[in-house]
Structure 1
Amino acid sequence: MAAGEQGWSFDVLGPLRVTRDGEPVELGAPQARAVLAVLVLHAGRVISAERLIDEVWGASPPPSARVQLQGLISQLRRSLRTDAREAFIATGAGGYELRAPVGTRDVDRFEEHVAAARDLISAGDVVEGAARLRTALATWRGRPLDGIEVPAARQAAEHLSELRLGALEDVVAAELELGEHGSLVGELAALVEENPLRERFRGQRMIALARSGRVPEALDAYREWHSLLVDELGVEPSAEVRAIHAGVLRAEPGLRPEAVNSVIDPAKPRQLPPDRSGFIGRRQLLGELTDEFVRPRDTPPVVVVTGAAGSGKTALSVRLAHSVGDSYPDGHLFAQLRGTSADPVSPKAVLARFLRALRVPIDMIPADLDECAALFRDMLSGRRVLLVLDDAADEAQVRLLIPAEAMCAVVITSRQRLSGLEWGRSVKIGALTDTESTALLAEVVGGERVAADPEAARTLADYCGGLPLALRIVGAQLVDRPHWTLLDMVDRMAAERGRLDWLAAGDIAVRASFALSYERLGATHQTLFRRLGLLPVPTFASWVAAALVDTDEATGERLLADLVATNLVEPVGRASGGPRYRLHDLLRVFAAETVEREPEAERTTVVERAVGAWLYLAEQAAARLPGSVLQPAPGHATRWARGLGEADRLVADAIGWFDAELPGLDSVIAVAAGQGLAEHAWELAVVCGVYFDHQAVYPQWRQCYLRALPAARGAAADRGVASLLRGLGQIDIYEDRFADAVAALEESKEISERIGDRHGVARAILGLGTIHRVQGRMAEVLGCGDEAIPVLDELGDLHGGVQARIGRSGVYLSEGRIDEARDVLDDAMQMCAKLGDQHRTANVHLAYGEMRLRENNATGAMKHFRTALRMLESLGDQRCTAQVRLRIGRAHVALGHDAEATSVLADASAQFATLGNGTREAECALLLGQIAARTRTV
């Protein structure tokens, strides 16, 4: 809009009015005003022509209604134009829209003033808050949209009138708090007359009358209200109004003319629990918070210490309070709020307790919560008092307990984040470090016992997950058993099942502490938390949560966010696809115990769904990686994709996705196998084999396959057994374990033949051919090719076909049959063109380079090798880039480039050492030795 729009105002808090620079704008006929009223009420949103017709003409519009509406809109557009000749009313295919700039509607200005006023009052600035409310109410000119009787206007008028009454109630409450009761008596009488069923006005009038010394009139006002409700409506006044009536009868504080503080002599309470000796850890944090509590501030310092059960929140808070206590000489107040119990302490009960500690007589403590909070703030005015509020349930439990006085300070502990609290700083504490954990254990059991077996002490610290509560309980158990060594306790806690049994001493127990947090969760959150105990993975993504409770990923993310807020789940950064989470080790043990209450069949279904999600995403990720001779064909395991949203987003970075899931893959496979889901176990392992092969992560590859193999054998899943054996054989080839590789591949071939899997047979033969080639049995290599290539070609396995031809070219080259090698490599390159696969193409270039070396054309070989290296480096393939560097080293040697050869061979040797390929590492060493010998001779 142009600059001239700032002088416009669209007003509905009274008769509809549009002004420009204070002058009214002619709006035309009543029907035009009705159309504009609907558009103003819904400013910023498109209103369809059909709805406008319904609003203006009702259920029976004239046939020309649409034409008439267009005419009315045109008339309004002409009347409502900016200096830039732009109309405020936009038209389009979807309908009509009033594009009123921010701040030009009186209802927006009213609501903005009201919201700001309520924030000010909540923050303790009642004077400014009351003034803002009066400013808001001054925007009203009468009944909203008076004279416009379309349905939308009538509904809006009712809603807006309710907002005005709420603001009136709030301003009266604020001005009563400011002691302006005398000036409010007349206004409240009028408000009660205008709104006879508005109970809050009734109660406020009673308060104003009582504070003005007109107690009989206040009692008469209650009797009038009681009679109206009971006699005519058959209900009693609310508890709040009955409490005001009782307070007037008893002349309670706030309901009589005297000043409360004139009859109270404040005390200096000292309620802090004793500080715990041997406080361990958190030193830096404690120092930061101490500085914050002792320096001058404009607002009271408020710190919320959050963390999981047993993390030491109370110990830190009490230590902090004792550390800064001298800076708050007028009192130290402490309240155990029991927020994690089934019966949290109410704010009213805490306020009453604090007021009694400040020597307010019981009969002068208000019954009304807000008045009680106001009296508490009044009592702390001008004083330096420290409050410690331990174990808060939520923001509502502590909000009214926070003083307005800047010289006061508050420490709150909670298992919740309390992110909705308007003041202060939130500090989350986690587990102690290994060193701190061992030191805490030594503090409890004695340094000599820890020094006698430091390794056992570290193991116990690990079993306790760095939780101070768990460490102190273990220490107490050892103190009660002086004849035990730390290793005795390690032996008893070694098994996760039953570990929590040892983390109990007297009336404290880790399990019970966890249970309090768990029991406060809603049913769905409880289900998710306990089912996380089914999957002993180090970290997990939100889609795992979705699978566990059979929902969509967004809901899973929200559920996890709630568990993070309660400190039952920890965020641990991001990886491919989004945030990652973890369970503390002991919480995972607790979840695993709790989930055992679910029927076994249900647990199996949950695991099947979760592993099905892993399998589905692993397939999507593997499809984005370069092709592999290990590329699996789908099996019969059920996939779960319903709640995964856009899988493309989750696995866009395929390597990153596998990297994030790698630490837990073997556990997921083991869980599937343990639940009898053998098909899921072997399929997931085999699908991940594409990644393992590409990234050359052999130990994890072997571990996952060996997790799945017994399950596949036990379930007679022959196809899975054969696939797993082929993968294990490939790993053995990479690691020069050729006897083991032959055994695995021969068994895979035999099983594939038995079940009629020709493709599996050809793949196994391909692997055996590789072993023959490495061991110099060239005739057998050709025989394997003769047997495998026709099948691979028939089945359309271009990856396998290329690989087989590369192997055959190596045989031809070893026998000096250059032309035949060239022919077979040309065939392979044509197949690569069909595949569009850089990885296979790079391998063919590698073979071409070998052929050029055989032709004594090292320069030509180098071109092919460098092309292959560029391709493979772009794919991040460490194993194949090492192979290429070895060939480049050979080419440099042939060209007499000793320095270049030495550099590239050293790099290749380091890669082979990392990959565990001793044969190739030895080749590098041999070539480096030849270069060194030649250099010395020269």
Structure 2
Amino acid sequence: MEFATLLHRYRKATGLTQEKLAGKAGVSVAAIGALERGVRRFPRSETVNALAYAMGLTADERKAFAESARRQTVPAIRPSAESAAPPVPRQLPLPDPSFTGRTADLATLQTALTSGTGVAIIAITGMGGAGKTTIAVKAAHAVAAEYPDGQAYLDLHGYGPDPLSPLEALNYLLRAFGLSGADVPVQVDEAAARLRSQLAGRRALILLDNARDAAQVEALLPGTGRSAVLITSRHELAGMPTAQVLRLGLLSAAEGLDLLRATVGATRVDRELEAAQEIVEACGLLPLALKISAGRLATRLQWPLTHLAGLLRDERRRLDQLEDQELGVRASFDVSIDDLAAGGSDREQRAAAAFALFGVPDGPDLTVEVAARLLDCDEHVATDALEDLCNLHLVESLAPRRYRLHDLLRVYARERAQASIGPAEQAAAVNRVLDLYASAAWQSTELGFPRSGRLPWYRAQPPIVNGGPKYDDMGSALSWLDGQRHHLLALTSQAVRMGGVPAMAILRLVIGLHPFYATRGHWLDCLRIERTALEVAAEDPRGEAHVRSDLGLVLYDLARAGAGHPDDSIAELHRSRELFESVDDLVGEALALANLSHVLDLNGDYQQAIDAGEQSLTIYRKLDDGPGQAIAYINIGNSQGKLRRTQAQRSAYDEAIAISTRYDAQHHLGIALLGSGVAYQLAGDFEMSLDHLHQATTKFEALSDQLSLAEALDELGLTYRLSGNLESSITHLDKALTISTHYDDGQRHYLILTHLADSLEASGDHTTAAERRTQATDITKGRG
């Protein structure tokens, strides 16, 4: 009698489950399962003895048990070809009755399985819980009639503690297709060749589930004929170029709702559709999570869907709610990470350890630079870790050097971080990323505003030890920060909440970021991050003064857009000046006065603006700060012009242009030329206006100051229209509109649309002009 039969009979007689027998014998559950299925026919003697002892077999039973485990030396008598037809295996598991959606993926699989003229090899890859096995079984059943010579199913246990070896898998498949006893070779190469021979004249389907890698399945593939192999794996199965790969993603929101309806009932789901949508979102559109949630609701008929939605709302307990014994979402993710951690290479173990750290920072995704700072390593090592995790579908590659964790994987990574990484180490990791962002911010300031009034404060702080890449120009640094925009506020807020991150690291980042926000017009982001910084600013009055000075500018720009009152802005600027005075910081005091002059001018308080501008000019002269004097002259010129003091305005702008040129202060020069160009435009001198505005545009383009560039292009478009050149007017206004669509200060976008509508109307394009006016009207409605 075969070992598999005896093992099953003795175990049942003793009343032991496979799990209980595994615990008593010290043998894995997977191994016992493989032995009972006959996948492993000849276990080692120590395994046989351990099982016999655990089951309490008698001496005669132990003897028979041991003999059945020995290899036979005499070939078994085989039935002749005439006496028995080759077996036709029908081993596919039952399809999941709740399967829904995946229409395109299922069609792709069915086409791949039925349209070829040779051997078809299809690999389904994806993250744990994506439903790879479910769709594979569904597709296999759908095409079963196309494979009359049988459908074999084999779980390779690629991610368990005891994965099947190629020889064990070959043994199982050969027996499924008619071989037995000594006909089954005991060498991999021989067994693989025999399987290819067995399948050459047949049209059979083999479903290999949970493959670890290409090496585990290469020997199991047919060589000729019209059979097919369907493989599921969490890995990408690199090294199998002949396989067609279906990368299984997440469900759509509509498919997620349909899955709930299929299990919970359409009436119940549609009655609480909003709660159902929240459940789908909390499950991250992951089929396994949705099936567990649907199963809980199906067995708890008295639960409203709002109750489960509320349970899932707490991110800290979300994975607890998505557990179903050993089949939970957490358990599924554990398999992938634990398997990686148990890998034989240092690289695999580093990737497993990195996963937890990648869950620490708040933010939607990770760039290589950020990953390297989290891990405190070079970018090559960080890239290796990200790619290894990507191969297991634990992270997703969004674009070159950019990766993302699925929502539930982020929750899971954070859980692992809380369990394995101490608070101090987590804070240190966040601090390193803050320094990375701060380095880019301050590099942009030093490259574009080398005499900025905030630089003395920065240079008085301890230097950033490792700030990542070095940039050659302001535009490159700002462009990188553009890609990090949504992380900046999230990480700063996290740093304030978590504790352990030095306040100075937070202030250094926030104060350094203001020029970035000012050149982009992201005022709401700027408002939030600066208010967050004020929570930790009290221990550094100079730092607090800088934050309040910047905040004053932000509040005014928002007030102009209808969000807030100008008095709040002016109050912050006065408070900033007082703080600078209290620490005898003349540079800061001059900066606060210059900002105050700018805001008072915009507020219509022109003489007060001139007074504040002259006070800042006096301090800048005392400091021998040429670029500072240029800014003061620009502010004075703006207000003089609005008081119709044309000569004083012209004189102030000319001074600003001359000083900025002498000190090579390119941004100051661009602002001075912009103000001067507008003044010439209002005076009707279009030739000088166009000359100065074009020069300003060139400066802002070189510095990547998108907000000022849009303003200069808008004024160019207006000047060209006033001078009668409608074609150039529309060209420049279109450019301004494109920029302001992405970088908007709350006011300029509206003005550009209005000016463009005027130029289009004048050119005879009434249809497009009307569209632009409607867009401008929509902006004013949006402001309420």
TM superposition score normalised by structure 1: 0.66
TM-aligned CA deviation for residue 468 of structure 1: 0.4
Q: Measured at CA, do residues 782 and 347 of structure 1 come closer, stay the same or move farther in structure 2, by a change above 3 Å?
A: same
Separation of aligned partners in 2, 1:366 and 1:802: 89
TM-aligned CA deviation for residue 877 of structure 1: 4.1
- Residue 358 of structure 1 corresponds to 177
Render the CA deviation track for 1:402-422: whole Å, top value 9, x for unaligned: 121331111111111111235
- Residue 590 of structure 1 corresponds to 412
Render the CA deviation track for 1:215-244: whole Å, top value 9, x for unaligned: xxxxxxxxxxxxxxxxxxxxxxxxxxxxxx
Q: Measured at CA, do residues 629 and 270 of structure 1 come closer, stay the same or move farther in structure 2, by a change above 3 Å?
A: same
In the alignment, structure 1 residue 552 sits paired with structure 2 residue 378:
yes
Contact 2:610–2:640, Cα closer than 8 Å, also in 1: no
Contact 1:341–1:516, Cα closer than 8 Å, also in 2: yes
- Residue 689 of structure 2 corresponds to 861
Q: Measured at CA, do residues 488 and 795 of structure 1 come closer, stay the same or move farther in structure 2, by a change above 3 Å?
A: farther
- Residue 244 of structure 2 corresponds to 425
Contact 2:336–2:392, Cα closer than 8 Å, also in 1: yes
Render the CA deviation track for 1:580-625: whole Å, top value 9, x for unaligned: 1000000000000110122212222222223222322333345455
Greater relative contact order (CA < 8 Å, ≥ 6 in sequence): 2
Q: Helix, strand or coil for the counterpart of 2:163?
A: coil
Render the CA deviation track for 1:782-814: whole Å, top value 9, x for unaligned: 332232224335556554332211011233434
In the alignment, structure 1 residue 600 sits paired with structure 2 residue 428:
no
Separation of aligned partners in 2, 1:830 and 1:672: 44
Q: Measured at CA, do residues 292 and 908 of structure 1 come closer, stay the same or move farther in structure 2, by a change above 3 Å?
A: closer
Separation of aligned partners in 1, 2:320 and 2:283: 12
Contact 2:199–2:225, Cα closer than 8 Å, also in 1: no
- Residue 666 of structure 1 corresponds to 489
Render the CA deviation track for 1:453-502: whole Å, top value 9, x for unaligned: 32222222111111000111111121122222222222111121111111
Separation of aligned partners in 2, 1:871 and 1:835: 15
Q: Measured at CA, do residues 909 and 270 of structure 1 come closer, stay the same or move farther in structure 2, by a change above 3 Å?
A: closer
In the alignment, structure 1 residue 619 sits paired with structure 2 residue 445:
no
Render the CA deviation track for 1:907-931: whole Å, top value 9, x for unaligned: 9899889845459968997999999
Quick one: which amino acid aligns to residue 109 of structure 2?
Answer: L
Q: Measured at CA, do residues 925 and 281 of structure 1 come closer, stay the same or move farther in structure 2, by a change above 3 Å?
A: closer
Render the CA deviation track for 1:396-455: whole Å, top value 9, x for unaligned: 221211121331111111111111235312221111111211221222211112212322
Q: Measured at CA, do residues 347 and 652 of structure 1 come closer, stay the same or move farther in structure 2, by a change above 3 Å?
A: farther
Q: Measured at CA, do residues 627 and 338 of structure 1 come closer, stay the same or move farther in structure 2, by a change above 3 Å?
A: same
In the alignment, structure 1 residue 384 sits paired with structure 2 residue 203:
yes
Separation of aligned partners in 1, 2:130 and 2:752: 55
Quick one: which amino acid aligns to residue 156 of structure 2?
Answer: L
- Residue 699 of structure 1 corresponds to 524
Separation of aligned partners in 1, 2:727 and 2:258: 54
Q: Helix, strand or coil for the counterpart of 2:536?
A: helix
TM-aligned CA deviation for residue 545 of structure 1: 1.9
Separation of aligned partners in 2, 1:610 and 1:397: 40
Q: Helix, strand or coil for the counterpart of 2:641?
A: helix
Separation of aligned partners in 2, 1:426 and 1:640: 45
Contact 1:531–1:548, Cα closer than 8 Å, also in 2: yes
Quick one: which amino acid aligns to residue 283 of structure 1?
Answer: T
Equivalent residue in structure 2 for 1:274, among 85, 94, 104? 94
Q: Helix, strand or coil for the counterpart of 2:398?
A: strand
Contact 1:672–1:680, Cα closer than 8 Å, also in 2: no
- Residue 824 of structure 1 corresponds to 652
Quick one: which amino acid aligns to residue 751 of structure 1?
Answer: L
In the alignment, structure 1 residue 532 sits paired with structure 2 residue 352:
no
Separation of aligned partners in 1, 2:114 and 2:610: 84
- Residue 561 of structure 1 corresponds to 387
Q: Measured at CA, do residues 542 and 651 of structure 1 come closer, stay the same or move farther in structure 2, by a change above 3 Å?
A: farther
Q: CA RMSD in A?
A: 3.6
Contact 1:286–1:316, Cα closer than 8 Å, also in 2: yes
- Residue 184 of structure 1 corresponds to none
Render the CA deviation track for 1:879-933: whole Å, top value 9, x for unaligned: 3345446655775787688999899899989988984545996899799999999
Q: Helix, strand or coil for the counterpart of 1:277?
A: coil
Separation of aligned partners in 1, 2:760 and 2:156: 78
Separation of aligned partners in 2, 1:928 and 1:360: 82
Separation of aligned partners in 1, 2:195 and 2:523: 67
TM superposition score normalised by structure 2: 0.78
> Which deviates the most, 902-911 or 433-442?
902-911
Separation of aligned partners in 2, 1:547 and 1:261: 67
Separation of aligned partners in 2, 1:614 and 1:379: 62
Equivalent residue in structure 1 for 2:464, among 634, 639, 642? 639
Separation of aligned partners in 1, 2:451 and 2:254: 46
Separation of aligned partners in 2, 1:815 and 1:435: 61
Q: Helix, strand or coil for the counterpart of 1:504?
A: coil
- Residue 311 of structure 2 corresponds to 492
Separation of aligned partners in 2, 1:838 and 1:261: 92
5 Å-filtered alignment, 1:827-838, equals 827-838=655-666
Separation of aligned partners in 2, 1:648 and 1:259: 78
5 Å-filtered alignment, 1:92-103, equals none
Q: Measured at CA, do residues 899 and 302 of structure 1 come closer, stay the same or move farther in structure 2, by a change above 3 Å?
A: closer
5 Å-filtered alignment, 1:729-748, equals 729-735=552-558, 736=560, 737-748=565-576
- Residue 291 of structure 2 corresponds to 472
TM-aligned CA deviation for residue 293 of structure 1: 1.5
Equivalent residue in structure 1 for 2:112, among 270, 282, 292? 292
Q: Measured at CA, do residues 694 and 355 of structure 1 come closer, stay the same or move farther in structure 2, by a change above 3 Å?
A: same
Quick one: which amino acid aligns to residue 692 of structure 1?
Answer: Y
Q: Helix, strand or coil for the counterpart of 2:232?
A: strand
In the alignment, structure 1 residue 852 sits paired with structure 2 residue 675:
no
Separation of aligned partners in 2, 1:912 and 1:359: 72
Q: Helix, strand or coil for the counterpart of 1:270?
A: coil
Q: Helix, strand or coil for the counterpart of 1:333?
A: strand
Equivalent residue in structure 1 for 2:282, among 452, 463, 475? 463
Contact 2:718–2:729, Cα closer than 8 Å, also in 1: yes
Separation of aligned partners in 1, 2:75 and 2:660: 92
Separation of aligned partners in 2, 1:895 and 1:380: 83
In the alignment, structure 1 residue 725 sits paired with structure 2 residue 548:
yes
Q: Measured at CA, do residues 897 and 373 of structure 1 come closer, stay the same or move farther in structure 2, by a change above 3 Å?
A: closer
Contact 1:261–1:379, Cα closer than 8 Å, also in 2: no
TM-aligned CA deviation for residue 767 of structure 1: 1.2
Q: Measured at CA, do residues 362 and 471 of structure 1 come closer, stay the same or move farther in structure 2, by a change above 3 Å?
A: same
Equivalent pairs, count: 676
Contact 2:166–2:216, Cα closer than 8 Å, also in 1: yes
Q: Measured at CA, do residues 921 and 794 of structure 1 come closer, stay the same or move farther in structure 2, by a change above 3 Å?
A: farther
Q: Measured at CA, do residues 334 and 637 of structure 1 come closer, stay the same or move farther in structure 2, by a change above 3 Å?
A: farther
Q: Measured at CA, do residues 438 and 848 of structure 1 come closer, stay the same or move farther in structure 2, by a change above 3 Å?
A: same
Listed as ranges, the gaps of 5+ residues in structure 1 are 1-245
- Residue 182 of structure 1 corresponds to none
> Which deviates the most, 474-483 or 891-900?
891-900
> Which deviates the most, 443-452 or 857-866?
857-866
Quick one: which amino acid aligns to residue 412 of structure 1?
Answer: I
Quick one: which amino acid aligns to residue 398 of structure 1?
Answer: V
TM-aligned CA deviation for residue 332 of structure 1: 0.8
Separation of aligned partners in 1, 2:235 and 2:534: 44
Q: Helix, strand or coil for the counterpart of 2:143?
A: helix
- Residue 613 of structure 2 corresponds to 785
5 Å-filtered alignment, 1:123-202, equals none
